[in-house]
Amino acid sequence: MSRDFGREKRLLTPRQFKAVFDSPSGKLPGRNVLLLVRENDLPHPRIGLVIGKKSVKLSVERNRIKRQLRETFRHHQMDLAGWDIVVIARKGLADLDNPELAKQFAKLWRRLSHTPSQPQGEPNPAKASHA
């Protein structure tokens, strides 16, 4: 898998975002950020960013955060295959400088890469055991 960041690695349509929002497989809270994740059937991860004016006031700050996020995602995407990820910014995210942002997201990507992904077709063993 290449480290590019083409259209196939982004959540683009409202329908794709809605799928993650409606039924996330997991939530990873971080400092000033929340990641909603959902398994996809693709050999690569996809990411969507939700950075609103309410949580990050200045457009230059929103754009800086998006650039940093995309860059850390690009470097860690090999470990994140099979996930759709929506990053939701919270207040205070703009107060972090670039190295701190990169460090925080690298930590979140590592946590997500250690989260077991379950293929859609397999039943959950915990649910099947008491049947």
Interval 32-61: pLDDT, tens: 999 999 999 888 899 999 999 999 999 999
Give the whole-angstrom CA distance, residue 61 versus residue 6.
23
Q: Do 114 and 58 touch, CB atoms closer than 8 A?
A: no
pTM as predicted: 0.82
Q: Which two tokens stand for residue 66?
A: 């998006």
Q: Do 87 and 20 touch, CB atoms closer than 8 A?
A: no
User: How crowded is residue 6: how many other Cβ atoms within 10 Å of its Cβ?
Assistant: 8
Beta-carbon contacts of 51 under 8 Å, excluding residues fewer than 6 positions away, are: 62, 65, 66, 87, 89, 93
Distances (CA, A) of 5 to 19, 42, 47, 100: 21, 15, 10, 22
More confident residue, 6 or 44: 44
Q: Return the pLDDT at 60.
A: 96
